[in-house]
Every structure is written in structure tokens, then in C-alpha cells.
Amino acid sequence: MSASLLSLHAVSKNFGGLAVISDVSFDVPQGSRTALIGPNGAGKTTIFNLISGVFAPSEGEIRLEGQTIDALPSRSRIGLGIARSFQNIRLMPHLSVVENVMLGQQSRAGNLAGMLTPLSLFGRSKYRREAEDLLESMGLSTYPGEVVATLPYGIRKKIEVVRALVAKPKILLLDEPAAGLNNTETANLRDFLMTISQSGVTLLVVEHDMSLVRSLCDHAVVLNFGRKIYDGSTRTVQEDPAVLEAYLGTRQAEKTRNQAEADHVA
């Protein structure tokens, strides 16, 4: 197995007296495509918020390439190689595609002047060229000047991912990237994310679409009520008794297991 890029060690998160995450540990290997899944309310988005620096753990630690990052602000984590997209698209709808991608370059700026430079009005800057080159490499070269609000939802989803990529991340956190997409758009997104993975970016994906999880990800971590209940291959995740119970309930999970055993015997 590849070396771990991101590690959570006995991480817990409490809000007042409510334990949202309890003693969760898992590794995300370098170059992997890992799914973080579970029923609604399992704690998946909280884990993303802990990794990206929105919250600090109540207990435990998070490491990136062996370095503890718990005390670092979100901006510093971006600089170390953590980027994120969100379930709800957060593009600027009135700006063009290339301008939205260039906004992602602000994360690499060290001061006010640096923050203003990527959106310079003085000609076609190196930042604009970089954004256009990235769009071309991701198969979106026909859209740079288009206003984002005029584009199909599936294309806007891809543009948000490209904006995250312009920060040159080592690991990309994707929060329900297929939410709101039809089957064709989801298949296109899967191929798009495979291209990103093949470029060397590690993926950690929160997703409810299990068809996408199985076709995209090679590893899965499953949460339920803030606790880890599975950590293994996506090939066997839907056969795990604890996972079946979490999704289906005890009685339905038992019926599903019995039917699977009967089918196997037949």
C-alpha cells in the first residue's frame, strides 16, 4: 500500500455536550481514491470541516504527510496541499469561467498585492494563462469566457473542481460532487475525476451515489452516528453486516443477508 498522505488518529468532535465524531481513525494513502460514506447525519461533513480547518478536533490529531495540522488555519492548510469543493456550488455566477478559476489562485497569494494580481486588468497575465491551460487540460477549453450562470449544472460542478485544482492540491476533498446530476452527467464527472486522479491528486470523496463510489473509489470508510464502522475495499462495503444495518436497519439487513446467501447457494 502507498504511504499515508492524510491520517486521522482517534479524532473526536464535541459541540457542547453532543458528541458528533467519536474516536475516528483512518488513513488516506497517497494517490488513492477514498470514499467517506454513511447515512445522513453520520458525521461526514464534520470530518471534512475538521480536515479543512473549519473546526478543531476536541480530541485526537490530523496529520498531513506526517505533520500535525490541528492548530493551522484553513488558509495554511490550503498552502500545504488540501483543497475542497462543496455540495452546493459556490462559484460567482456573474463572473466568467476563467475568472472563477482565477479566484482559486488567491489561496497562493501571500499579501494584498498578491491577492489582487491574479485578477489583474492589465492584459492576459500569467495567472490567466495558467487558468486557461488548466481548463484546457481538463477538457473545458470551450468555456473560459462564458458567464457561469449560463452554463449547465454539470459543467458548473466541473468548474468548481477546477477552481480547487488551481491551488495545486495534494489531496482534494469532494463533498457530494454528483449531487443534482443526472446519470449521463454523473458518468462524465466520474471520467473527469479519474483524469484528476491520474494526474497525481489524491481524492477523498463524500458521496451518496454508490454506483459512482464503486466505479471511482478503490477504498471506503463508513461512518454511522459519528463512529467508524467500516474501513476497507469498495468491492465488499455493501456486504458488510454493520454497513447493511446502518443503511437498512437490523431487520431489513438480516433479510438482505439471507437473500444474498440464498442467491449464492442457487
pTM tops 0.85, yes or no: no
CATH 3.40.50.300 fits 1-81+169-235, yes or no: yes
pLDDT score of 258: 47
Residues 172-191 as b/e (b if ≥16 CB within 10 A, e otherwise) read bbbbbbbbebeeebbebbbe
Given this model, what pLDDT does residue 102 score? Answer: 85
pLDDT for residue 251: 47
Q: Which three cell numbers mark 134?
A: 488548466
Compute the radius of gyration of the chain from its Cα atoms: 20
Sheet strand arrangement including 59-64: 18-29, 4-15, 59-64, 67-68
Angle at 207 between CA 204 and CA 209, to 5 degrees: 140
User: Which residue positions in the chain have pLDDT lower than 50?
Assistant: 112, 122, 250-254, 256-258, 260-266
- Provide the residue ranges of all domains of the chain, joining segments of one domain with +: 1-81+169-235, 91-167, 236-266
